[in-house]
């Protein structure tokens, strides 16, 4: 593929205006020259067109499985290897670390491992963080300095809570989550506290919180996720020197998943590419798919694709419709579903792989049976030669994973859970990181307060109030206040508090000693050792490992964290520490961390994940579970047509993950927060054309679409439960009977379910409506 000439390549024609090359002479870090034909082999016509587009704005509309990442990476390779653009002039942004890593890896292969270090490839957030660290040091345009820390969602919510309490607000009426949402929304619109124009009284209050929240952030020299974007976009908009510098530097900007950009991200990209500098072409290459826009709730707007067309009328558009992933059957199903959305530009996906297995639709009795079904199918296919790694089980909400996990554990099938209680959200991990953050910067109040009394060392509200009082009195951070206290450099009688009692004093000294020790060690110990020291001297390790199973589990998480820390061992300690903390703050997914306890590799495990985290992935066999009203579409989306369209896109994303076989599963009833409810099948199911389904599944949807007719279907069980009915004393069944699962209208409801390999049967009579009926369900013991 990649050929390296033996003779030095002839000087390439400069892609960018000479003026730029003169002003910014190419730095070391140009890529090897690539052979254009070799680079393009294996690409289809459309892909080739996209990869070789002339400079200028470009929009690639890429359907699922159409080789989007391939196009992006080849485009970069084309630019640096064929067009001879210096690598440092290229910036590619993605949304996830995973995508960035993958791009990097693929480019590494394409470019033969050279010249990678000068390419800017990263997530929006990471890219912004890097830029801000540079720009905030020195210039005092910004109200924070380059050593800022990054607040994650937990820090954010704690801060908002603190402000809500401070302002004496009712946290029921002003729920911290909601307020944080409002703040985030404002930031996404680039609205600062002072410019905030509240539409309602509630928002006015939220605005007050916003102001104080922001002040607290800056007090800790902290930025939240939204700030990273906002401050960068503002800088590029308002400071010509900075803007021009980066425009000149990044002459080629490539954006992945453009449909998921929010307004700030759009402006940032737009700002970088605008042509206010004479002769600068807008070399902005964006790739996206409106149909896969699933982050509306955090400000993403697929209409940015339309906006792009409007703002860059000269943009060339390339449509990628050939799919290399799924069977035609699966594509047909996907298109039928997405066709239900009104606001979209139609695309016609096609593939060379005609036909394919029908899509199975299964109605389970409840989530337990749903899980049993999935697991049974996996086992069946596994014995027929499928690897566990070929399977993925997807769901709308993380809570749904529990039942599936249970079933997998019982059958001893190795699995991998993506996301869920994220590794870095675990309490012990956050505690441990708080120690490291304090070692990095003891003024970090969030971390200070977090571990001040963890493990408990006798510092309660009383002791804290001394520190707080000193902090207020002398207007210094908590850490400095603590220092003053333990060094006995403040008046013994604090205003309104009286003398500091000895117990508090001792406890505070203990804490001070711990952190001081870390500060002392941070320049010599590498992060993993520093972490070990922190856990030892703080007593955290002992406290955690109290002999309980839970304690050991948590301890293992800390060992994993230690493993993460070891990756930074090569750098000088001080640098390694900040690199590690930065990386950890911007990591969202757990991949690479959750290697199996049972020794199974990733490829040998069933993957469990939400539909959201499934984007960009593919599996041979996909199960989409919980296809019910109020789950998919989710109840929160019920009243909002826009939100409903997003739910449909979510299902579309899920369906198009499947390469060969798709199972759609829904349950007749499902328990949620303790109570059980009857579920209606998802409206999206009725949008599936019967011919994409397996015959029996097609029959089911058809009978279901006739509204008032009874909903019946034969169960999947071969053996009827033995005289289970008799045990109920209501009706009788015999071995060999065909058990029916009749939900409505027949006077009797019978369902079977599997539990621990045994079948469980439920029988009831219809009396007083379905709700009553379900309450009166009798649970029966199976008999041998």
Partner DNA sequence: CTAATCCAGGTTTTT
Partner DNA sequence: CCTGGATTAG
Among the listed ranges 190-198, 394-402, 556-564, 723-731, the one in contact with DNA (CB under 7 A) is 394-402
**Annotation says 249 is catalytic:** no
Report in angstroms how near the CB of residue 687 gets to DNA at its nearest: 20
CB 147: neighbour CB atoms within 10 A? 12
Spatial separation of the C-alpha atoms in residues 734 and 616, rounded to whole Å? 49
* Separation between Cα atoms, residue 465 and residue 504, nearest integer Å: 10
Nearest-angstrom CA–CA distance, 712 and 745: 9
Which listed residue (127, 292, 329, 351) is catalytic? Answer: 292
Examine the residue annotation and report whether 473 is marked as an active-site residue of this protein.
no
The CB-of-407 to DNA minimum distance in angstroms stands at 16
Q: For residue 537, which phi and psi values (nearest 5 degrees)?
A: -65, -25
Q: Using CB under 7 A, which residues numbered 107 to 126 contact DNA?
A: 123-126
For DNA, give the closer residue by CB, 144 or 395: 395
Catalytic annotation on 68? yes
Binding flags for DNA, 135-154, as an x/- string (CB under 7 A): -----------------xx-
List the interface residues with DNA, window 509-538 (CB under 7 A).
Answer: none
3-state secondary structure of 702: helix
Q: 257, 291, 370, 759: which one is catalytic? A: 257
Q: Does 716 bind DNA (CB under 7 A)?
A: no
| Cis previous bond, 530, omega within 30 | no
Q: What does the alpha-carbon distance between residue 140 and residue 145 come to, in Å, rounded to a whole number?
A: 8
Q: Which of 66, 73, 97, 293 binds DNA (CB under 7 A)?
A: 97
The smaller minimum CB distance to DNA, of residues 130 and 462, is found at 462
How many residues bind DNA (CB under 7 A)? The answer is 46
**359 contacts 684 by C-beta, under 8 angstroms:** no
Angle 380-381-386 from CA coordinates, rounded to 5°: 145
As measured in angstroms, the least distance from the Cβ of 262 to DNA is 9
Q: What is the DSSP letter of 423?
A: G
458 vs 532, beta carbon nearer DNA: 458
> Least distance in Å: CB of 718 to DNA?
31
Least distance (Å) from DNA to the CB of residue 762?
Answer: 18
Site map 443..462 versus DNA, x via CB under 7 A: ----------x--xxxxxxx
CB-neighbour burial class of residue 456 (10 A; exposed 0-12, middle 13-18, buried 19+)? exposed
Cα(336)–Cα(684) distance, integer angstroms = 10
Of the candidate residues 216, 318, 394, 586, the single one contacting DNA (CB under 7 A): 586
Least distance (Å) between residue 339 CB and DNA: 22
Q: Is 755 in the site for DNA (CB under 7 A)?
A: no
Residue placing its CB nearer to DNA in the complex, 98 or 347? 98
CB 459 to DNA: min, Å? 6
CA 575/CA 586 separation, integer angstroms: 17
Nearest to 740 by CA among 757, 723, 720: 720
CA distance 513 to 365: 59
According to CB under 7 A, which one of 182, 233, 253, 588 is a site residue for DNA? Answer: 588
589 among known catalytic residues: no
- Asked if 619 touches DNA (CB under 7 A), the answer is no
Q: Are 658 and 357 in contact (CB under 8 A)?
A: no
Of these residues, 155, 226, 231, 256, which one is catalytic?
256
Q: Which of 114, 118, 161, 316 binds DNA (CB under 7 A)?
A: 161
Position among 636, 702, 738, 772 found at the interface with DNA (CB under 7 A): 636
What's the CA gap between 182 and 214, in Å, rounded?
A: 13
Count of residues for the chain? 784
Minimum separation from the CB atom of position 461 to DNA (A): 5
Tell me how far apart the alpha carbons of residues 13 and 36 are, in angstroms, rounded to a whole number: 15
By the rule CB under 7 A, 503 interacts with DNA: yes
Look at residues 101, 57, 63 and name the one whose alpha carbon lies nearest to residue 288. 63
CB of 612 to DNA, least distance (A): 3
Residue 309 preceded by cis peptide, ω within 30? no
257 is catalytic: yes
Q: Which residues pair with 252 in a beta bridge?
A: 90
The 665-684 site mask, x for binding DNA (CB under 7 A), equals --------xx----------
Q: Which stretch binds DNA (CB under 7 A): 244-252, 269-277, 294-302, 754-762?
A: 294-302
Task: Name the segment binding DNA (CB under 7 A); options: 345-353, 396-404, 477-485, 677-685.
Answer: 396-404
Burial code (b: 16+ CB inside 10 Å, e: under 16) for 346-358 equals ebebebebeebeb
Contacts of 482 by beta carbon, 8 Å cutoff, 6+ apart: 467, 470, 508, 511, 512
The CB-of-46 to DNA minimum distance in angstroms stands at 29
DSSP assignment letter at 78 = I
- DSSP-based three-state secondary structure for 172: coil
Q: Are 39 and 4 in contact (CB under 8 A)?
A: no
Candidates 116, 357, 399, 766; binder of DNA (CB under 7 A) is 399
Residues marked active site are found at: 68-69, 256-257, 292, 657
**Chain positions contacting DNA, by CB under 7 A:** 95-97, 123-126, 152-153, 161, 172, 175, 177, 225, 294-295, 297-298, 396-399, 419, 453, 456-463, 503-504, 586, 588-589, 610, 612-613, 634, 636-637, 643, 673-674
């Amino acid at each position: 593929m990649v050929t390296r000439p033996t003779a030095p390549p002839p000087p390439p024609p400069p892609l960018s205006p000479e003026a730029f090359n003169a002003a910014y002479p190419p730095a070391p870090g140009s890529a090897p020259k690539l052979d254009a034909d070799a680079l393009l082999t294996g690409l289809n016509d459309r892909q080739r067109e996209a990869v070789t587009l002339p400079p200028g704005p470009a929009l690639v509309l890429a359907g699922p499985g159409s080789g989007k990442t391939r196009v992006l990476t080849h485009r970069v390779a084309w630019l640096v290897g064929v067009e001879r653009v210096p690598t440092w002039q290229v910036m590619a942004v993605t949304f996830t670390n995973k995508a960035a890593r993958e791009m990097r890896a693929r480019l590494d292969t394409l470019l033969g491992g050279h010249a990678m270090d000068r390419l800017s490839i990263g997530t929006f957030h990471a890219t912004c963080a890097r830029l801000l660290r540079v720009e905030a040091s020195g210039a005092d345009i910004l109200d924070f300095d380059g050593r800022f820390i990054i607040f994650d969602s937990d820090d954010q919510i704690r801060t908002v809570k603190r402000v809500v309490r401070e302002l004496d607000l009712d946290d029921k009426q002003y729920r911290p989550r909601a307020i944080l949402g409002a703040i985030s929304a404002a930031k996404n619109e680039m609205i600062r506290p002072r410019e905030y124009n509240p539409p309602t009284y509630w928002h006015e209050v939220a605005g007050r919180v916003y102001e104080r929240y922001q002040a607290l952030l800056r007090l800790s020299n902290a930025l939240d996720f939204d700030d990273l974007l906002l401050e960068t976009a503002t800088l590029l908009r308002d400071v010509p020197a900075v803007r021009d510098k980066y425009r000149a530097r990044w002459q080629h900007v490539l954006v992945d998943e453009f449909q998921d950009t929010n307004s700030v991200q759009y402006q940032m990209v737009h700002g970088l590419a605008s042509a206010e500098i004479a002769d600068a072409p807008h070399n902005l290459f964006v790739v996206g798919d409106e149909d896969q826009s699933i982050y509306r709730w955090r400000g993403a707007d697929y209409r940015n694709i339309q906006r792009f067309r409007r703002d860059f009328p000269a943009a060339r558009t390339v449509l990628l419709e050939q799919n290399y992933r799924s069977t035609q059957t699966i594509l047909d199903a996907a298109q039928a579903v997405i066709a239900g959305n009104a606001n979209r530009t139609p695309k016609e996906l096609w593939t060379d792989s005609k036909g394919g297995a029908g899509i199975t639709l299964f109605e389970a009795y409840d989530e337990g049976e749903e899980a049993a079904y999935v697991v049974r199918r996996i086992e069946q296919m596994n014995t027929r030669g499928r690897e566990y790694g070929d399977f993925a089980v997807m769901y709308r909400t993380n809570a749904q994973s529990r039942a599936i996990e249970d079933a997998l554990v019982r059958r001893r099938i190795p699995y991998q859970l993506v996301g869920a209680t994220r590794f870095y959200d675990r309490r012990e991990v956050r505690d441990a990181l708080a120690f490291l953050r304090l070692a990095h910067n003891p003024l970090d109040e969030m971390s200070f307060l977090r571990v001040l009394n963890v493990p408990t060392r006798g510092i309660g509200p009383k002791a804290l109030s001394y520190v707080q009082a000193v902090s207020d009195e002398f207007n210094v951070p908590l850490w400095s206040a603590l220092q003053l206290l333990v060094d006995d450099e403040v008046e013994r009688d604090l205003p309104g508090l009286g003398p500091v009692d000895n117990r508090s004093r001792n406890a505070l000294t203990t804490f001070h000693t711990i952190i001081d020790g870390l500060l002392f060690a941070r320049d010599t110990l590498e992060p993993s050792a520093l972490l070990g020291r922190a856990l030892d001297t703080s007593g955290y390790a002992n406290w955690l490992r109290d002999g309980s199973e839970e304690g050991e589990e948590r301890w293992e998480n800390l060992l994993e964290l230690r493993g993460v820390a070891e990756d930074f061992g090569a750098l000088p300690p001080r640098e390694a520490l900040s690199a590690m903390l930065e990386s950890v703050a911007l990591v969202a997914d757990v991949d690479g961390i959750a290697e199996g306890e049972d020794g199974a590799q990733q490829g040998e495990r069933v993957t469990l994940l939400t539909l959201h985290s499934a984007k960009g992935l593919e599996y041979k066999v996909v199960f989409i579970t919980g296809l019910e009203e109020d789950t998919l579409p989710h109840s929160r989306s019920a009243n909002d047509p826009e939100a409903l369209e997003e739910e449909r896109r979510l299902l579309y994303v899920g369906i198009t993950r499947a390469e060969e076989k798709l199972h759609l599963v829904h349950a007749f009833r499902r328990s949620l927060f303790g109570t059980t409810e009857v579920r209606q099948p998802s409206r999206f199911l009725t949008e599936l054309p019967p011919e994409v389904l397996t015959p029996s599944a097609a029959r089911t949807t058809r009978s279901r679409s006739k509204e008032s007719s009874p909903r019946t279907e034969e169960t999947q069980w071969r053996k009827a439960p033995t005289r289970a009915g008799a045990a109920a004393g209501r009706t009788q069944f015999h071995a060999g009977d065909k058990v029916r699962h009749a939900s409505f209208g027949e006077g009797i409801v019978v369902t079977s379910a599997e539990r621990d390999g045994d079948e469980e049967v439920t029988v009831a009579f219809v009396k007083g409506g379905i709700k009553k009926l379900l309450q009166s369900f009798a649970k029966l013991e199976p008999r041998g």
